[in-house]
Amino acid sequence: MKKVMAVNAGSSSLKFKLYEMPEESVICSGIVERIGFDDAIFQIKYNGEKHVTVQPVKNHSKAVELLLNALINFNIIKSYDEIKATGHRIVQGGSYFSKSAIINEDTLTKVRDLIPLSPLHNQAELVGIEAFMNVLPNTPGICAFDTAFHQTMAEEDYTYAIPYEYSEQFKIRRYGAHGTSHKYLSEKGEAYCENGKDRMIICHLGSGASITATNHGKCVATSMGLTPLGGIMMGTRTGDLDPSVFNYCVSQTGKTSEQIYQEFNKKSGLLGVSGISSDARDIMEACNKGDKRAILASKLWARRVADFIGQYYVRLGGCDLIIFSAGIGENSAEFRKLALDNIKEAFNVKIDEVKNNETHGIENVISTPDSAIKVVVIPTDEEVMIARDAYNMLLK
Ligand code: ADP
Protein backbone atom coordinates (compact mmCIF):
# COMPACT_ATOMS: atom_id res chain seq x y z
CA MET A 1 0.00 0.00 0.00
CA LYS A 2 1.40 3.34 -1.06
CA LYS A 3 0.09 6.87 -0.70
CA VAL A 4 -0.19 8.93 -3.87
CA MET A 5 -1.27 12.59 -4.11
CA ALA A 6 -3.26 13.83 -7.12
CA VAL A 7 -2.97 17.59 -7.59
CA ASN A 8 -4.93 20.08 -9.67
CA ALA A 9 -3.44 23.58 -9.42
CA GLY A 10 -5.18 26.71 -10.70
CA SER A 11 -3.96 30.28 -10.70
CA SER A 12 -5.26 30.91 -7.17
CA SER A 13 -6.29 27.47 -6.00
CA LEU A 14 -4.87 24.03 -5.38
CA LYS A 15 -7.08 20.95 -5.19
CA PHE A 16 -5.74 17.66 -3.90
CA LYS A 17 -6.78 14.10 -3.24
CA LEU A 18 -4.65 11.61 -1.33
CA TYR A 19 -5.07 7.97 -2.38
CA GLU A 20 -4.06 4.64 -0.97
CA MET A 21 -2.78 2.75 -4.03
CA PRO A 22 -3.27 0.37 -5.72
CA GLU A 23 -6.59 0.06 -3.85
CA GLU A 24 -7.59 3.49 -5.17
CA SER A 25 -9.25 4.36 -1.88
CA VAL A 26 -9.46 8.09 -1.12
CA ILE A 27 -7.83 8.91 2.22
CA CYS A 28 -8.64 12.61 2.17
CA SER A 29 -9.26 15.45 -0.23
CA GLY A 30 -9.36 19.21 -0.13
CA ILE A 31 -8.67 22.58 -1.64
CA VAL A 32 -6.76 25.75 -0.87
CA GLU A 33 -8.59 28.70 -2.44
CA ARG A 34 -7.70 32.40 -2.74
CA ILE A 35 -3.95 31.69 -2.68
CA GLY A 36 -2.12 35.03 -2.48
CA PHE A 37 -4.76 36.56 -0.18
CA ASP A 38 -4.85 37.16 3.58
CA ASP A 39 -8.16 35.34 3.80
CA ALA A 40 -7.32 32.19 1.85
CA ILE A 41 -9.65 29.27 2.54
CA PHE A 42 -8.31 25.82 3.32
CA GLN A 43 -10.71 22.92 3.28
CA ILE A 44 -9.92 19.30 4.01
CA LYS A 45 -12.30 16.34 4.04
CA TYR A 46 -11.23 13.39 6.13
CA ASN A 47 -13.14 10.55 7.78
CA GLY A 48 -16.46 11.97 6.61
CA GLU A 49 -15.78 15.35 8.24
CA LYS A 50 -15.04 18.68 6.59
CA HIS A 51 -12.62 21.10 8.28
CA VAL A 52 -12.39 24.68 7.02
CA THR A 53 -9.95 27.40 8.10
CA VAL A 54 -9.33 30.93 6.82
CA GLN A 55 -5.79 32.29 6.97
CA PRO A 56 -3.18 34.12 4.88
CA VAL A 57 -1.54 31.90 2.23
CA LYS A 58 1.16 33.80 0.38
CA ASN A 59 1.81 31.47 -2.53
CA HIS A 60 1.45 27.91 -3.82
CA SER A 61 4.48 26.67 -1.82
CA LYS A 62 2.79 27.90 1.37
CA ALA A 63 -0.42 26.18 0.26
CA VAL A 64 1.45 22.89 -0.17
CA GLU A 65 3.09 23.31 3.27
CA LEU A 66 -0.32 24.03 4.75
CA LEU A 67 -1.93 20.95 3.32
CA LEU A 68 0.99 18.66 4.19
CA ASN A 69 1.03 19.99 7.78
CA ALA A 70 -2.70 19.33 7.98
CA LEU A 71 -2.07 15.71 6.95
CA ILE A 72 0.31 15.40 9.92
CA ASN A 73 -1.93 17.32 12.36
CA PHE A 74 -4.91 15.15 11.48
CA ASN A 75 -2.72 12.06 11.91
CA ILE A 76 -3.34 11.07 8.30
CA ILE A 77 0.42 10.64 7.80
CA LYS A 78 3.28 10.57 10.30
CA SER A 79 5.90 12.04 7.97
CA TYR A 80 6.04 13.55 4.49
CA ASP A 81 8.01 10.49 3.29
CA GLU A 82 4.81 8.48 3.35
CA ILE A 83 3.72 10.24 0.17
CA LYS A 84 5.44 8.08 -2.41
CA ALA A 85 4.41 9.93 -5.58
CA THR A 86 2.50 12.93 -6.86
CA GLY A 87 0.44 13.33 -10.05
CA HIS A 88 -0.28 16.77 -11.50
CA ARG A 89 -3.00 17.77 -13.91
CA ILE A 90 -1.73 19.82 -16.84
CA VAL A 91 -4.21 21.33 -19.30
CA GLN A 92 -1.98 21.70 -22.37
CA GLY A 93 0.41 18.95 -23.42
CA GLY A 94 0.57 20.07 -27.06
CA SER A 95 1.72 17.46 -29.57
CA TYR A 96 4.51 16.44 -27.19
CA PHE A 97 2.48 14.18 -24.96
CA SER A 98 0.08 11.39 -25.93
CA LYS A 99 0.23 9.96 -22.40
CA SER A 100 1.28 11.01 -18.92
CA ALA A 101 4.96 11.81 -18.42
CA ILE A 102 7.37 11.45 -15.51
CA ILE A 103 8.43 14.86 -14.20
CA ASN A 104 12.04 15.65 -15.14
CA GLU A 105 13.85 18.58 -16.74
CA ASP A 106 12.70 17.59 -20.24
CA THR A 107 9.03 17.35 -19.23
CA LEU A 108 9.15 20.66 -17.38
CA THR A 109 10.84 22.40 -20.32
CA LYS A 110 8.08 21.19 -22.66
CA VAL A 111 5.30 22.22 -20.26
CA ARG A 112 6.98 25.63 -20.00
CA ASP A 113 7.26 25.79 -23.79
CA LEU A 114 3.50 25.32 -24.04
CA ILE A 115 2.60 28.28 -21.78
CA PRO A 116 1.76 30.54 -24.76
CA LEU A 117 -0.81 27.95 -25.91
CA SER A 118 -2.47 27.83 -22.50
CA PRO A 119 -1.45 30.90 -20.49
CA LEU A 120 -4.36 30.60 -18.08
CA HIS A 121 -3.48 27.08 -17.02
CA ASN A 122 0.02 25.76 -17.69
CA GLN A 123 1.71 28.56 -15.78
CA ALA A 124 -0.32 27.92 -12.63
CA GLU A 125 0.12 24.17 -12.96
CA LEU A 126 3.90 24.57 -13.19
CA VAL A 127 3.81 26.69 -10.03
CA GLY A 128 1.92 23.82 -8.38
CA ILE A 129 4.57 21.29 -9.45
CA GLU A 130 7.39 23.54 -8.25
CA ALA A 131 5.63 24.05 -4.93
CA PHE A 132 5.54 20.28 -4.37
CA MET A 133 9.16 19.93 -5.51
CA ASN A 134 10.17 22.56 -2.92
CA VAL A 135 8.47 20.80 -0.06
CA LEU A 136 8.93 17.18 -1.19
CA PRO A 137 12.21 17.30 -3.17
CA ASN A 138 12.69 13.53 -3.19
CA THR A 139 9.16 12.49 -4.13
CA PRO A 140 8.78 11.59 -7.82
CA GLY A 141 5.85 12.89 -9.83
CA ILE A 142 4.06 12.66 -13.15
CA CYS A 143 2.12 15.11 -15.31
CA ALA A 144 -1.26 13.98 -16.65
CA PHE A 145 -2.27 16.05 -19.66
CA ASP A 146 -5.84 17.05 -20.53
CA THR A 147 -4.88 16.91 -24.19
CA ALA A 148 -3.11 13.52 -24.23
CA PHE A 149 -6.19 11.35 -24.89
CA HIS A 150 -7.04 13.43 -27.97
CA GLN A 151 -3.71 12.88 -29.69
CA THR A 152 -5.18 9.97 -31.69
CA MET A 153 -7.30 12.32 -33.85
CA ALA A 154 -6.64 12.26 -37.59
CA GLU A 155 -5.10 15.28 -39.28
CA GLU A 156 -8.38 16.22 -40.95
CA ASP A 157 -10.06 16.16 -37.53
CA TYR A 158 -7.58 18.45 -35.83
CA THR A 159 -6.43 20.86 -38.55
CA TYR A 160 -8.00 24.31 -38.89
CA ALA A 161 -8.62 25.76 -42.35
CA ILE A 162 -6.20 28.64 -41.86
CA PRO A 163 -3.02 29.26 -43.88
CA TYR A 164 -1.11 26.02 -43.38
CA GLU A 165 2.13 27.86 -42.48
CA TYR A 166 0.40 29.18 -39.36
CA SER A 167 -0.63 25.68 -38.31
CA GLU A 168 2.96 24.50 -38.78
CA GLN A 169 4.85 27.46 -37.45
CA PHE A 170 2.70 28.24 -34.43
CA LYS A 171 1.48 24.69 -33.78
CA ILE A 172 -2.14 25.84 -34.17
CA ARG A 173 -4.55 22.89 -34.19
CA ARG A 174 -7.36 21.34 -32.22
CA TYR A 175 -5.86 19.87 -29.04
CA GLY A 176 -9.04 19.34 -27.04
CA ALA A 177 -9.26 19.16 -23.24
CA HIS A 178 -10.85 17.11 -20.41
CA GLY A 179 -8.97 14.16 -21.93
CA THR A 180 -8.38 12.48 -18.58
CA SER A 181 -12.12 12.53 -17.93
CA HIS A 182 -13.02 11.32 -21.43
CA LYS A 183 -10.52 8.45 -21.10
CA TYR A 184 -11.95 7.45 -17.74
CA LEU A 185 -15.51 7.57 -19.09
CA SER A 186 -14.67 5.65 -22.27
CA GLU A 187 -13.18 2.87 -20.13
CA LYS A 188 -16.22 2.82 -17.81
CA GLY A 189 -18.53 2.94 -20.83
CA GLU A 190 -17.17 -0.39 -22.15
CA ALA A 191 -19.37 -2.22 -19.63
CA TYR A 192 -22.47 -0.93 -21.47
CA CYS A 193 -21.37 -1.93 -24.98
CA GLU A 194 -22.03 -5.34 -26.44
CA ASN A 195 -20.37 -7.43 -29.17
CA GLY A 196 -17.37 -5.14 -29.47
CA LYS A 197 -19.60 -2.24 -30.55
CA ASP A 198 -18.27 0.69 -28.65
CA ARG A 199 -18.76 3.86 -30.63
CA MET A 200 -19.32 6.39 -27.87
CA ILE A 201 -20.27 10.04 -27.69
CA ILE A 202 -19.06 11.29 -24.33
CA CYS A 203 -20.57 14.51 -22.99
CA HIS A 204 -18.51 16.04 -20.19
CA LEU A 205 -20.88 18.84 -19.24
CA GLY A 206 -19.59 20.90 -16.35
CA SER A 207 -18.97 24.59 -16.10
CA GLY A 208 -16.28 23.88 -18.69
CA ALA A 209 -17.72 21.36 -21.14
CA SER A 210 -16.62 19.20 -24.03
CA ILE A 211 -17.91 16.33 -26.13
CA THR A 212 -15.70 13.55 -27.49
CA ALA A 213 -16.31 10.78 -30.01
CA THR A 214 -14.46 7.53 -29.32
CA ASN A 215 -14.13 4.32 -31.27
CA HIS A 216 -12.56 1.26 -29.62
CA GLY A 217 -11.50 3.49 -26.74
CA LYS A 218 -9.63 5.95 -28.98
CA CYS A 219 -10.60 9.58 -29.47
CA VAL A 220 -11.51 10.40 -33.06
CA ALA A 221 -12.98 13.87 -32.52
CA THR A 222 -13.45 16.33 -29.69
CA SER A 223 -15.23 19.65 -29.37
CA MET A 224 -12.71 21.83 -27.56
CA GLY A 225 -10.11 23.38 -29.82
CA LEU A 226 -6.76 25.10 -29.58
CA THR A 227 -7.88 26.12 -26.10
CA PRO A 228 -10.86 25.24 -23.86
CA LEU A 229 -12.77 28.20 -25.34
CA GLY A 230 -13.94 26.22 -28.38
CA GLY A 231 -16.73 23.70 -28.90
CA ILE A 232 -20.08 23.76 -27.13
CA MET A 233 -21.46 26.67 -25.15
CA MET A 234 -20.32 26.59 -21.52
CA GLY A 235 -20.93 28.28 -18.18
CA THR A 236 -18.98 31.42 -19.11
CA ARG A 237 -17.34 30.51 -22.45
CA THR A 238 -18.77 31.09 -25.90
CA GLY A 239 -17.84 27.80 -27.54
CA ASP A 240 -17.46 27.86 -31.34
CA LEU A 241 -18.25 31.12 -33.13
CA ASP A 242 -17.97 32.66 -36.56
CA PRO A 243 -14.46 34.17 -36.12
CA SER A 244 -15.71 37.52 -37.44
CA VAL A 245 -17.80 37.95 -34.28
CA PHE A 246 -14.53 38.56 -32.47
CA ASN A 247 -13.31 41.35 -34.79
CA TYR A 248 -16.72 42.92 -34.94
CA CYS A 249 -17.02 43.02 -31.13
CA VAL A 250 -13.59 44.69 -30.92
CA SER A 251 -14.46 47.32 -33.52
CA GLN A 252 -17.96 48.03 -32.19
CA THR A 253 -17.13 48.19 -28.46
CA GLY A 254 -13.79 49.96 -28.75
CA LYS A 255 -12.41 47.43 -26.29
CA THR A 256 -9.05 45.75 -26.85
CA SER A 257 -8.86 42.28 -28.35
CA GLU A 258 -7.57 41.04 -24.98
CA GLN A 259 -10.64 42.47 -23.20
CA ILE A 260 -13.02 40.84 -25.67
CA TYR A 261 -11.08 37.58 -25.43
CA GLN A 262 -11.46 37.68 -21.63
CA GLU A 263 -15.19 38.37 -22.04
CA PHE A 264 -15.55 35.41 -24.41
CA ASN A 265 -13.87 33.26 -21.73
CA LYS A 266 -15.41 34.65 -18.56
CA LYS A 267 -18.58 36.59 -19.37
CA SER A 268 -20.22 34.58 -22.15
CA GLY A 269 -21.99 31.21 -22.34
CA LEU A 270 -24.90 30.63 -19.95
CA LEU A 271 -23.87 33.72 -17.98
CA GLY A 272 -23.58 36.01 -20.98
CA VAL A 273 -26.80 34.98 -22.68
CA SER A 274 -28.94 34.85 -19.52
CA GLY A 275 -27.36 37.82 -17.75
CA ILE A 276 -28.09 35.85 -14.57
CA SER A 277 -25.53 33.19 -13.77
CA SER A 278 -23.09 30.65 -15.16
CA ASP A 279 -24.56 28.00 -12.89
CA ALA A 280 -27.05 25.62 -14.49
CA ARG A 281 -29.06 25.49 -11.24
CA ASP A 282 -29.66 29.25 -11.28
CA ILE A 283 -30.55 29.11 -14.97
CA MET A 284 -33.10 26.36 -14.38
CA GLU A 285 -34.62 28.27 -11.47
CA ALA A 286 -34.96 31.38 -13.65
CA CYS A 287 -36.41 29.26 -16.50
CA ASN A 288 -39.04 27.93 -14.12
CA LYS A 289 -39.99 31.54 -13.31
CA GLY A 290 -40.38 32.25 -17.03
CA ASP A 291 -37.25 34.39 -17.49
CA LYS A 292 -36.92 34.75 -21.29
CA ARG A 293 -33.16 35.07 -21.49
CA ALA A 294 -32.60 32.13 -19.16
CA ILE A 295 -34.91 30.07 -21.36
CA LEU A 296 -32.97 31.19 -24.44
CA ALA A 297 -29.66 30.34 -22.75
CA SER A 298 -30.84 26.84 -21.85
CA LYS A 299 -32.23 26.18 -25.33
CA LEU A 300 -29.07 27.45 -26.96
CA TRP A 301 -26.96 25.25 -24.69
CA ALA A 302 -29.03 22.19 -25.58
CA ARG A 303 -28.85 22.93 -29.34
CA ARG A 304 -25.07 23.14 -29.26
CA VAL A 305 -24.82 19.85 -27.37
CA ALA A 306 -27.18 18.25 -29.90
CA ASP A 307 -25.20 19.72 -32.83
CA PHE A 308 -22.07 17.96 -31.67
CA ILE A 309 -23.85 14.69 -30.95
CA GLY A 310 -25.24 14.79 -34.50
CA GLN A 311 -21.86 15.62 -35.98
CA TYR A 312 -20.14 12.83 -34.08
CA TYR A 313 -22.83 10.29 -34.95
CA VAL A 314 -21.89 10.89 -38.57
CA ARG A 315 -18.16 10.91 -37.80
CA LEU A 316 -18.44 7.53 -36.04
CA GLY A 317 -20.82 6.03 -38.60
CA GLY A 318 -23.34 5.43 -35.79
CA CYS A 319 -23.28 5.42 -32.03
CA ASP A 320 -23.66 2.66 -29.44
CA LEU A 321 -23.51 4.70 -26.25
CA ILE A 322 -24.03 8.29 -25.14
CA ILE A 323 -22.47 9.17 -21.78
CA PHE A 324 -23.41 12.19 -19.66
CA SER A 325 -20.97 13.32 -16.99
CA ALA A 326 -19.53 16.23 -14.93
CA GLY A 327 -21.50 18.79 -12.87
CA ILE A 328 -24.45 19.31 -15.23
CA GLY A 329 -24.35 15.91 -16.95
CA GLU A 330 -24.31 14.02 -13.65
CA ASN A 331 -26.78 16.14 -11.72
CA SER A 332 -29.26 17.93 -13.94
CA ALA A 333 -32.13 15.80 -15.26
CA GLU A 334 -33.57 18.96 -16.85
CA PHE A 335 -30.48 19.83 -18.87
CA ARG A 336 -30.00 16.21 -19.95
CA LYS A 337 -33.59 16.13 -21.14
CA LEU A 338 -33.22 19.44 -22.99
CA ALA A 339 -30.23 18.08 -24.90
CA LEU A 340 -31.79 14.67 -25.61
CA ASP A 341 -35.07 16.21 -26.78
CA ASN A 342 -33.06 17.79 -29.59
CA ILE A 343 -31.76 14.45 -30.89
CA LYS A 344 -34.56 12.00 -30.06
CA GLU A 345 -36.37 12.26 -33.37
CA ALA A 346 -33.34 11.89 -35.61
CA PHE A 347 -31.77 9.03 -33.67
CA ASN A 348 -34.80 7.35 -32.11
CA VAL A 349 -33.33 7.87 -28.66
CA LYS A 350 -35.85 7.19 -25.90
CA ILE A 351 -35.46 8.42 -22.36
CA ASP A 352 -36.92 6.75 -19.30
CA GLU A 353 -38.21 9.91 -17.59
CA VAL A 354 -38.40 8.29 -14.15
CA LYS A 355 -34.83 7.05 -14.31
CA ASN A 356 -33.61 10.36 -15.67
CA ASN A 357 -35.34 12.26 -12.87
CA GLU A 358 -33.93 10.04 -10.14
CA THR A 359 -30.34 10.16 -11.41
CA HIS A 360 -28.19 12.69 -9.54
CA GLY A 361 -24.49 12.02 -9.17
CA ILE A 362 -24.84 8.26 -9.62
CA GLU A 363 -24.12 5.82 -12.42
CA ASN A 364 -27.38 4.85 -14.11
CA VAL A 365 -28.80 3.99 -17.54
CA ILE A 366 -31.46 6.60 -18.35
CA SER A 367 -32.67 5.30 -21.73
CA THR A 368 -35.45 2.77 -22.24
CA PRO A 369 -34.59 -0.78 -23.40
CA ASP A 370 -35.96 -0.01 -26.90
CA SER A 371 -33.93 3.20 -27.33
CA ALA A 372 -31.80 3.02 -30.50
CA ILE A 373 -28.82 4.32 -28.52
CA LYS A 374 -28.16 3.50 -24.88
CA VAL A 375 -27.75 6.61 -22.71
CA VAL A 376 -25.94 6.40 -19.39
CA VAL A 377 -24.92 8.82 -16.66
CA ILE A 378 -21.44 8.09 -15.27
CA PRO A 379 -19.80 10.32 -12.63
CA THR A 380 -16.32 11.19 -13.82
CA ASP A 381 -13.15 10.82 -11.78
CA GLU A 382 -10.13 12.59 -13.20
CA GLU A 383 -8.13 12.37 -9.97
CA VAL A 384 -8.18 8.59 -9.81
CA MET A 385 -6.76 8.47 -13.36
CA ILE A 386 -3.94 10.78 -12.30
CA ALA A 387 -3.22 8.71 -9.18
CA ARG A 388 -3.35 5.51 -11.27
CA ASP A 389 -0.79 6.84 -13.75
CA ALA A 390 1.46 8.05 -10.92
CA TYR A 391 1.30 4.62 -9.27
CA ASN A 392 1.75 2.64 -12.49
CA MET A 393 4.58 4.77 -13.85
CA LEU A 394 6.52 5.34 -10.64
CA LEU A 395 5.73 2.76 -8.00
CA LYS A 396 4.54 -0.50 -9.53
P1 ADP B 1 -15.89 22.53 -13.63
O2 ADP B 1 -15.02 21.38 -13.18
O3 ADP B 1 -15.71 22.89 -15.07
O4 ADP B 1 -15.86 23.70 -12.71
P5 ADP B 1 -18.11 20.89 -12.76
O6 ADP B 1 -18.04 19.60 -13.48
O7 ADP B 1 -17.73 20.91 -11.33
O8 ADP B 1 -17.38 22.02 -13.59
O9 ADP B 1 -19.60 21.45 -12.91
C10 ADP B 1 -20.00 22.60 -12.26
C11 ADP B 1 -21.36 22.97 -12.79
O12 ADP B 1 -22.28 21.89 -12.60
C13 ADP B 1 -22.00 24.10 -11.98
O14 ADP B 1 -21.63 25.34 -12.49
C15 ADP B 1 -23.46 23.85 -12.18
O16 ADP B 1 -23.86 24.55 -13.35
C17 ADP B 1 -23.57 22.38 -12.49
N18 ADP B 1 -24.31 21.65 -11.43
C19 ADP B 1 -23.83 21.11 -10.31
N20 ADP B 1 -24.84 20.53 -9.59
C21 ADP B 1 -25.97 20.71 -10.31
C22 ADP B 1 -27.34 20.36 -10.13
N23 ADP B 1 -27.76 19.68 -9.07
N24 ADP B 1 -28.21 20.74 -11.09
C25 ADP B 1 -27.80 21.42 -12.16
N26 ADP B 1 -26.53 21.77 -12.38
C27 ADP B 1 -25.63 21.43 -11.49
Q: What is the mean pLDDT of each run of 10 residues along the chain (396 residues)?
A: 93 92 97 93 95 94 93 94 96 96 97 89 90 92 98 98 97 96 97 92 97 97 96 97 98 97 96 97 97 98 98 98 97 98 97 98 97 97 96 96
Distance 269 CA to ligand 1 centre (A): 14
User: Ligand 1 pocket, 85 CB below 6 A?
Assistant: no
Distance 33 CA to ligand 1 centre (A): 18
Minimum-distance ligand 1 atom for the alpha carbon of 235: 14
pLDDT value of position 198: 94
The residues assigned a catalytic role are 146
User: Ligand 1 pocket, 337 CB below 6 A?
Assistant: no
Tell which one of 331, 356, 380 to mutate to probe ligand 1, the residue whose CB is within 8 A of the most ligand atoms: 331
pLDDT value of position 231: 98
User: Ligand 1 pocket, 208 CB below 6 A?
Assistant: yes
Distance 324 CA to ligand 1 centre (A): 12
Task: Specify the pTM.
Answer: 0.95
Q: Residues near 99 by Cβ (< 8 Å), separated by ≥ 6?
A: 148, 389
